[in-house]
Structure 1
Amino acid sequence: MNDQHHTPEGPVGPVDASRVPRFAGIATFARLPRLEDVGRADVAVMGVPFDGGVSYRPGARFAPAAVREASRLLRPYHPGLDVSPFASLQVADAGDVACNPFDIPEALEAVQASAGTLLDAGSKIVTVGGDHTIALPLLREMHRKHGPVALLHFDAHLDTWDTYFGADYTHGTPFRRAFEEGLLDTEALSHVGIRGPLYSKQDLTDDARMGFGIVTSMDVMNQGVPAVVQALRERVGDRPLYISIDIDCLDPAHAPGTGTPEAGGMTSRELLAILRGLDGCNLISADVVEVAPAYDHADITAVAASHVAYELISLMARQGAPEPVPAGAVRQGAHG
């Protein structure tokens, strides 16, 4: 953590829920301050309302707004990791990237430019998508800052296909493009939660050639979370780690609001437990994508995504604050 990101009074935290009801006020992520109100942040939550790369059900362009609404119930202390992330770090909502909905390359350039601005200002980024196409420009910026990065990719699908309908940039191709561009550390790549039918066995051959290991959702069930966590930690080591989470890694019972649901997925509890088990890894940034609110029921998917983002921020706080910071050190945000 760089102390210059903080005022002498400490980080500015969420709006005080004891004074302003959770259902009132502007829906920033976890009711945190906007980036323009604090100047800069250790962790910036960036929305990307773009779904021009989907192959089935559209609607992920509305995810950042839905996840912000669902995040109103998040609280400032994480007992599982024993951290108060908003007291340990300055976390702020960086708003949404203005993506061209009709031009995929232009939209990806906008995402990359916005991510680059935040990284150069000293922020880690938790991105709320949007469809999975946006992982590619984010990985380009991670590579610019860190060189080839380790990748943990939580998803029902491999997303290492070559093209869809002749298009190179879709939500099913970002990690093949990232491999081809040399953005990834091929000794430290893994998919988690994979399941469902494939186009052919060649899909697995191509994926293995790129260096990916696969932990299926059945592996999570049969081996258990501790064994999966141990294997993932051994694979990524202390390398710069990027985590990309497609919410469809969860079973449709836990995440119905997504574009390409597959039966037999992980529970939200399993996903959160695996992430929590990565405490101490060198997490540089992350994304949570593919929430499609129009297919959601009672905000189930948006709530899951908001908690996943909170888990990622808490992991970053554990990295960035070696000395425990009491919750009382955080200043409450604006009351309204």
Structure 2
Amino acid sequence: MTSSRTGRGEGDPGSRTDPARESRPVPPVDSSQVPRFAGFATFARLPRLDQVERADVAVVGVPFDAGVSYRPGARFGPAAVREASRLLRPYHPGLDVSPFEAAQVADAGDIAVNPFDIGAAIETLQADAEALSAGGTKLVTVGGDHTIALPLLRAAAKKHGPVALLHFDAHLDTWDTYFGEPYTHGTPFRRAVEEGILDTSALCHVGTRGPLYGKADLDDDQKLGFGIITSADVLRRGIDETIDALRQRIGNRPLYVSVDIDVLDPAHAPGTGTPEAGGMTSRELLEILRGLRTCDLVGADVVELAPAYDHAEITAIAASHVAYDLVSLLCLR
């Protein structure tokens, strides 16, 4: 265990002697004792996974961007989200939950994957995700590019069977290949449908927009089983109607949520690899996520933050709050 000198503050599990407290979750660092800008940069200043006996929810990074098709840099996303998360506080008024008291949440560090071999990276990530979740721990994964969604879905399906999917993104990510390659950040959900790890009666893209290669993209996507709620639909229908439509499509199935931060308009998320105009606001995205509180969420990811293009940490701040909401939803289960 670490001492208060290293930034653990009142959250140091080694300082507790009351047996009645031993079963309580180890909390984040107390910002009234250790300034937010000091100490280790774990997500929301949570304890590391090796500092707790077990975790109900683990936040894990995947610094990988070998699957991108335009601007690189998402390999630095996990570190940027951790830094931006220093300002997160332990009570979530929108969900009326103190997630770090309701469950043990920990930062599991980064999964180190091969940056030169996409196939090897996918295999490593799947194996490590399965190992991390073997004891019942639920994962919120911070990427990294969207290629990582495929092995994470494989791990989730191995445990729960084919899962429902809500995919928040400017893009469909159901293309077949890119330059002949079947595993990229634009192909994970086609591969997932082909592998039978998604429940094709409960799939939906949210926030899509922008030009496509042709109408066949939409036709192919529909054949795979996806519904679509575009960013314009969210604007016209409003938050409540959007949430109702998503709940009806998901039902009570085990749900995986994948959030590409480019679902947000570049005004709210400039730091991403393939920005598209006309996106959702961060407020809309967070409110829709909070509307999923009654769903059976089993895992989630937040991907495609590229800090090099992120002036004033706007995108990292948004991504850290998205991850916090996903963690909070898992702590409600």
TM-score band, normalised by the shorter chain? over 0.9
2:195 is matched with which residue: 181, 187, 192? 181
**What is the CA-CA distance between 1:7 and the residue it aligns to?**
6.7
Alignment RMSD (CA, Å): 0.9
1:262 is matched with which residue: 267, 276, 283? 276
1:302 matched to 2:307? The reply is no
1:124 matched to 2:138? The reply is yes
| 2:231 alignment partner AA | S
Q: Deviations over 1:266-312 (max 9, x none)?
A: 00000000000111100000000000000001000000000000001
| 1:254 alignment partner AA | H
**What is the CA-CA distance between 1:28 and the residue it aligns to?**
0.1
* In 1, Cα distance between equivalents of 2:225 and 2:22: 46
| Structure 2 partner of 1:217 | 231
| Structure 2 partner of 1:143 | 157
| Higher RCO structure, 1 or 2 (CA under 8 Å, sep 6+) | 1
* In 1, Cα distance between equivalents of 2:54 and 2:24: 13
| Structure 2 partner of 1:113 | 127
Query: Which secondary structure state, in structure 2, belongs to the residue aligned with residue 263 of structure 1?
Result: coil
Structural mapping, 1:276-291, within 5 Å: 276-291=290-305
| 2:88 alignment partner AA | L
1:168 matched to 2:182? The reply is yes
1:68 matched to 2:82? The reply is yes
| Structure 1 partner of 2:166 | 152
| 2:267 alignment partner AA | A
| Structure 1 partner of 2:109 | 95
**What is the CA-CA distance between 1:316 and the residue it aligns to?**
1.1
**What is the CA-CA distance between 1:9 and the residue it aligns to?**
4.1
**What is the CA-CA distance between 1:38 and the residue it aligns to?**
0.5
Q: Deviations over 1:205-237 (max 9, x none)?
A: 000001000000000000000000000000001
| Structure 1 partner of 2:147 | 133
* In 2, Cα distance between equivalents of 1:240 and 1:9: 28
**What is the CA-CA distance between 1:196 and the residue it aligns to?**
0.0
Query: Which secondary structure state, in structure 2, belongs to the residue aligned with residue 298 of structure 1?
Result: helix
| 1:231 alignment partner AA | A
| 2:273 alignment partner AA | G
Query: Which secondary structure state, in structure 2, belongs to the residue aligned with residue 299 of structure 1?
Result: helix
2:259 is matched with which residue: 229, 235, 245? 245
State, as a whole percentage, how many aligned pairs show the same letter. Answer: 74
Query: Which secondary structure state, in structure 2, belongs to the residue aligned with residue 17 of structure 1?
Result: coil
| 2:123 alignment partner AA | E
Q: Deviations over 1:30-78 (max 9, x none)?
A: 0000001103200000100000000000000000000000000000000
* In 2, Cα distance between equivalents of 1:102 and 1:81: 41
1:51 is matched with which residue: 65, 71, 80? 65
**What is the CA-CA distance between 1:114 and the residue it aligns to?**
1.2
Q: What's the TM-score once normalised by structure 2's chain length?
A: 0.93
| Structure 1 partner of 2:98 | 84
* In 2, Cα distance between equivalents of 1:187 and 1:205: 16
| Structure 2 partner of 1:322 | none
Structural mapping, 1:25-40, within 5 Å: 25-40=39-54
Q: Deviations over 1:126-178 (max 9, x none)?
A: 00000000000000011100001000000000000000000010000000000
2:287 is matched with which residue: 263, 273, 279? 273
Which runs of 5 or more residues in structure 2 are unaligned?
A: 1-19
**What is the CA-CA distance between 1:89 and the residue it aligns to?**
0.4
1:14 is matched with which residue: 22, 28, 45? 28
| 1:232 alignment partner AA | L
* In 2, Cα distance between equivalents of 1:175 and 1:241: 14
**What is the CA-CA distance between 1:113 and the residue it aligns to?**
1.1
* In 1, Cα distance between equivalents of 2:316 and 2:135: 29
Query: Which secondary structure state, in structure 2, belongs to the residue aligned with residue 23 of structure 1?
Result: coil
* In 2, Cα distance between equivalents of 1:183 and 1:57: 29
Query: Which secondary structure state, in structure 1, belongs to the residue aligned with residue 142 of structure 2?
Result: strand
2:210 is matched with which residue: 188, 196, 214? 196
Which runs of 5 or more residues in structure 1 are unaligned?
A: 1-5, 320-336
* In 1, Cα distance between equivalents of 2:65 and 2:27: 31
**What is the CA-CA distance between 1:8 and the residue it aligns to?**
3.1
* In 1, Cα distance between equivalents of 2:117 and 2:103: 36
